[in-house]
Structure 1
Amino acid sequence: MILVLAGTSDARELALQIKDKGYDLLTTVVTDNAAKSMEEAGVPVQVGRLTADDIQQLIQDRAVQCVVDASHPFAEEASKNAMAGAQGAGVPYIRYERESLSSPGSEKLIVVEDYVQAAELAAEKRGVIMLTTGSKTLKTFTDRLLGLPDTTLVARMLPRLDNMQKCEELGVEQKNIVAMQGPFSKELNKALYEHYGVTLMITKESGKVGAFDEKVEAALEMGIETIVIGRPKIDYGTKFSDFESVLTQLKQVTGGN
């Protein structure tokens, strides 16, 4: 049995390839929408956030031979729990992370270390700010941006009820919410920037599969300043950015196919 932390489109594809190699596997995801995608692909899935203890117990209960962590590049807590759970159960841990995309050189692009830095820099710049980093850290930005003179915060996020409730609770006006399921093409990004009159865009460096390049390229081509939040710095140990290397490593640690 292989345990795969999934939830992204490339993680789903990796899980399918592991299954095709003949391994029994179980994927874990956080949302019902991600679970539906796995179920439609015929991949066993468990829904819900897992602590390190939960993962260790799951490894023991299901006789898991290896943990493959293919969670989102910014799912820092999930990765740390996976590493701790695997270590506690004494099984190998393999990290798959979509390749980091080199940021195009531009005076309009600024890379920062975290969400707080991004929010504070945006507060200095003001204008029409489009936030494309999701709902989890929305409060970091609303605390610093809402109510500032000459400043409008446009929040782009997944069309989920809990996201809309959070926007309402934090004071984001309905007219300034873009609730859409990505990924977005460069053309659609440009259309949204133009519609709202965006002067500053904030994103995180999720990688090519996360349409990072389309968001940034669209903004820079339109002369829109862009703040990019760098990935968390985590020592994963065994880490790969391509499926073939993961499968090869999986074969080595399990003595499998």
Structure 2
Amino acid sequence: MSPRHILILGGTTEARELAAALTAHPGVRVTTSLAGRVSRPGAVAGDVRIGGFGGAQGLADWLRAEQVDTVVDATHPFAESITANAVRAAAASRVPAVVLRRPGWRPGPEDRWHEVASLDEAAALLPSLAHRVFLTTGRLGLAAFAHLTDLHFVVRSVDPPEPPMPPHTEVLLARGPFTVDDETALLRDHRIDVLVTKASGGEATSAKLTAARQLALPVVVVRRPPLPAGVSAVPDVAGVLERLGLTL
């Protein structure tokens, strides 16, 4: 009997945790697909493929050719196009699909959050809030802020960003998790007066929100894109395993 083949669309901490949990089960073959946007991805259990599939049709063809039994979309909450392609490909190839999305962050009574729908809205809001910006929205969206010539940006990303970007930009290359003490020191050392982030959720990068709260700094939070119509997500690895009829 051939092993049960699970394809994980990965790139997140939860995807790595899921791959490790699944490979511990006998009779389960795990393939994790990474987009290749990060030059030094963390170690992943099971088989790994790098690169895209060529859209929904290419993914559907791959699911059939590789006899995939279930596809799990465990990509970043802002990987909107990948999620849409995964849902379409799964339907076209009649392969069950599960979407794993970690819970988002929620503001507390002492947080000074400004929620916006896009990076463009975040950029439009910044001049009224501050002059020194800690930007943690990833290296691929800096063009939205490139016209803000009067602001100073500190940008943190895993890999070096590429232009266009704001003219006054300082780049910090780092990978989480980060501690509250480290984030507080960073905000103070760089004299940051506003934080900009995406509502990614997760513990690995949440310390910056705690630090901003303790320093009474405003935070511009870009809301997550909605899931495709009719799609519901599970919040954690245990939820995926339950859908698959497996246990931790």
Task: Determine helix, strand or coil for the equivalent of 2:67.
Answer: coil
Cα distance in 2 for residues equivalent to 1:105 and 1:139: 32
**CA shift at 1:209, angstroms?**
3.1
**CA RMSD across the alignment:** 2.1
Task: Determine helix, strand or coil for the equivalent of 2:245.
Answer: helix
TM-score between the two structures when normalised by the length of structure 1: 0.86
- Change beyond 3 A, Cα 1:107–1:100: closer
Match 1:45 to one of 30, 40, 48: 48
| Counterpart residue identity of residue 156, structure 1 | R
**CA shift at 1:130, angstroms?**
1.0
| Counterpart residue identity of residue 209, structure 1 | E
- Change beyond 3 A, Cα 1:78–1:251: same
1:180 has 2:174 as partner: yes
Contact 1:2 1:65 in 2 (8 A): yes
1:202 has 2:209 as partner: no
**CA shift at 1:197, angstroms?**
0.3
Task: Determine helix, strand or coil for the equivalent of 1:27.
Answer: strand
Q: How does 1:78-157 map to 2 (within 5 A)?
A: 78-106=82-110, 108-143=112-147, 145=148, 147-148=149-150, 151-157=151-157
- Which runs of no fewer than 5 residues in structure 2 stay unpaired? none
Cα distance in 1 for residues equivalent to 2:101 and 2:133: 29
**CA shift at 1:251, angstroms?**
2.6
Cα distance in 1 for residues equivalent to 2:96 and 2:237: 17
- Change beyond 3 A, Cα 1:60–1:107: closer
Contact 1:93 1:238 in 2 (8 A): no
Identity among equivalent pairs (%): 27
Task: Determine helix, strand or coil for the equivalent of 1:24.
Answer: strand
Match 1:249 to one of 236, 243, 247: 243
Contact 1:10 1:209 in 2 (8 A): no
**CA shift at 1:101, angstroms?**
2.5
2:226 alignment partner in structure 1: 233
Match 1:219 to one of 212, 225, 229: 212
Cα distance in 1 for residues equivalent to 2:238 and 2:165: 44
Cα distance in 2 for residues equivalent to 1:124 and 1:157: 25
2:24 alignment partner in structure 1: 20
Contact 1:157 1:179 in 2 (8 A): yes
- Which runs of no fewer than 5 residues in structure 1 stay unpaired? 253-257
**CA shift at 1:29, angstroms?**
0.7
**Structure 1 runs, 4 residues or longer, greater than 6 Å off:** none
**CA shift at 1:73, angstroms?**
0.9
Between the two proteins, the alignment pairs up a number of residues equal to: 239
**CA shift at 1:106, angstroms?**
3.4
Deviation string 1:98-132 (CA, Å, 9 cap, x unpaired) is 12222223362211122111111013323101101
Deviation string 1:147-191 (CA, Å, 9 cap, x unpaired) is 22xx21221111x24x2xx15x535456x1112122211111111
| Counterpart residue identity of residue 20, structure 2 | L
Cα distance in 2 for residues equivalent to 1:200 and 1:190: 13
| Counterpart residue identity of residue 37, structure 1 | A
| Counterpart residue identity of residue 121, structure 2 | Q
| Counterpart residue identity of residue 101, structure 1 | W
**CA shift at 1:224, angstroms?**
1.3
